[in-house]
Amino acid sequence: MSILVLGSGQLARMMALSAYPLGISVQAVDVADNKIVDPVTKQVINNTLEKLIEEVDAITVEFEHIPEDLLQLVHSSGKLKPSIEAILAGADRVREKKLLEKLNVANCPFQIVTEVEQLDAAVATLGDKLIIKASRDGYDGYGQWRLHDKADLPELKEQLSKLDLNKVPLVVEKMLKFDRELSLVAVRNASGDIAYYPLAENLHHQGQLHVSVAPAPHVSLELTEQAQTIFNKLAESLDYVGVLAVEFFQLGEQLLVNEIAPRVHNSGHWTMHGADTCQFENHIRAVEGLPLGSTKTMSTTAMINIIGCKDFAREMLSISGCHMHWYGKTPRAKRKMGHFNLCAEDYIGLGHSMLALSKYVPEEHFPMLKDEAQRLIELQAK
């Protein structure tokens, strides 16, 4: 059995490492130049994309932002999983919003802007506290702008006037006061079987995910059912195969969809050590038509991203339940260099492990670690 992954970053690497024990070979395409590479070693493989498309059993993606000509090429093979419709919806916020509207799935109030002058009407309708997002190629806080006061609108319009908004429209959303951010990672196979992981609570800094805690604390059965119902609507509409992540804002007992990710997801990395079968293996299983693995939670887990940080000592591995994954990238600001998974029996134990980790890592790259650790300790103490 063999799989081709479009994209050759850390998600392709982690998929490959989960596939090898199952006897499945994985090769990846660097979408910048269409070279075939080993997703683990990054060595170039002497093969053509066209030949490889014929040879493999299935083709999948590690991220949404695939050149559309390449996406159409692999779609025509009939081997692409998830579907091209799902990938395009994840790559384009306008398509995504239209999908949510079609399925009557609650999300943030928004307007689509193709001319800068339309921002005045958006402010009049949505208010003067807005989040403005490029409809394509924006992630980890990139391609986003914030308006906090109407007085700042002229300056923002001047900044945005330099963009081609006909080519890449803006999605303008009302800035909501939500309680927290949650995500549901689940997997669906071609027969329609679904396995759900528990909701994870996500903490962001400067628009980028820093910490995920799973299972998320204080999640009611009603909230879980609401998230799973939304996942089902999306997955069934897209005839989805593989892992799909849905990010939510929680307002009281209501969930609003923030965005969808048609792939394995950063907020699901905790499953590598905190669940019976990790998201990467379950994605491979779904794509190859194998039985889905159990998503049973094995521990209370925190995933902590290593962002923009150079290599450091490994003494933190002495912490019980600490697992490190280093991606081998060249450091730069806001770049995900790796992640830690911390596993514990309960939230208070997890909080103490996070405090222990904070002693070994530079605080400027882990700004939320100590506060989140203390919150988890106090949470269980109440």
pLDDT digit string (tens) for the chain, length 382 residues: 999 999 999 999 999 999 999 999 999 999 999 999 999 999 999 999 999 999 999 999 999 999 999 999 999 999 999 999 999 999 999 999 999 999 999 999 999 999 999 999 999 999 999 999 999 876 655 788 999 998 899 999 999 998 999 999 999 999 999 999 999 999 999 999 999 999 999 999 988 999 999 999 999 999 999 999 999 999 999 999 999 999 999 999 999 999 999 999 999 999 999 999 999 999 999 999 999 999 999 999 999 999 999 877 899 999 999 999 999 999 998 999 999 999 999 999 999 999 999 999 999 999 999 999 999 999 866 5
Domain boundaries, the chain: 2-80, 109-174, 180-381
Pair 11, 62: CB distance under 8 Å: yes
d(CA 237, CA 244): 13
Count of alpha carbons within 13 Å of 352, Cβ hemisphere only? 10
Q: What is the pLDDT of residue 139?
A: 65
Q: What is the pLDDT of residue 382?
A: 57
Pair 250, 180: CB distance under 8 Å: yes
pTM listed for this prediction: 0.95
Q: What is the pLDDT of residue 380?
A: 66
3-class SS at 115?
coil
Q: What is the pLDDT of residue 211?
A: 98
d(CA 25, CA 45): 13
Q: What is the pLDDT of residue 313?
A: 84
Distances from the Cα of 64 to the Cαs of 57, 58, 137, 160, 239, in angstroms?
21, 17, 9, 24, 17
Q: What is the pLDDT of residue 141?
A: 57
Q: Is domain 180-381 annotated with CATH 3.30.420.40?
A: no
Write down the CATH superfamily of domain 109-174.
ATP-grasp fold, A domain (3.30.1490.20)
**CA 338 from chain center: how many Å?**
14
Query: What class, spelled out in words, does domain 2-80 have in CATH?
Result: alpha beta
What tokens appear for 240 in the block? 């989805």
Pair 196, 295: CB distance under 8 Å: yes
Give start and end residues of each alpha helix (H) in the chain.
10-19, 49-55, 68-75, 84-91, 93-102, 118-126, 153-160, 221-237, 271-274, 279-288, 347-358, 369-381
- Pairing mode, strands 58-61 and 2-6: parallel
Q: What is the pLDDT of residue 294?
A: 98
39 prior amide bond cis, ω within 30 = no
- Only one residue has tokens 């609108």, namely 153
Phi-psi region of 289 (alpha: psi -120 to 50; beta: other; left: phi over 0): left
Pair 60, 73: CB distance under 8 Å: no
CA 257, 258, 262 angle in degrees (round to 5)? 85
**CA 78 from chain center: how many Å?**
25
Q: Do domains 2-80 and 109-174 have the same CATH topology?
A: no
How many C-beta neighbours within 10 Å does residue 254 have?
13
Q: What is the pLDDT of residue 138?
A: 65
Q: Which residues contact 122 (CB under 8 A, 6 or more apart)?
A: 111, 113, 130, 172
Q: Which residues contact 142 (CB under 8 A, 6 or more apart)?
A: 207
Best CA proximity match to 303, nearest among 329, 324, 282, 284: 324
- Only one residue has tokens 């506290």, namely 129
Phi, psi (5° rounding) for residue 61?
-130, 155
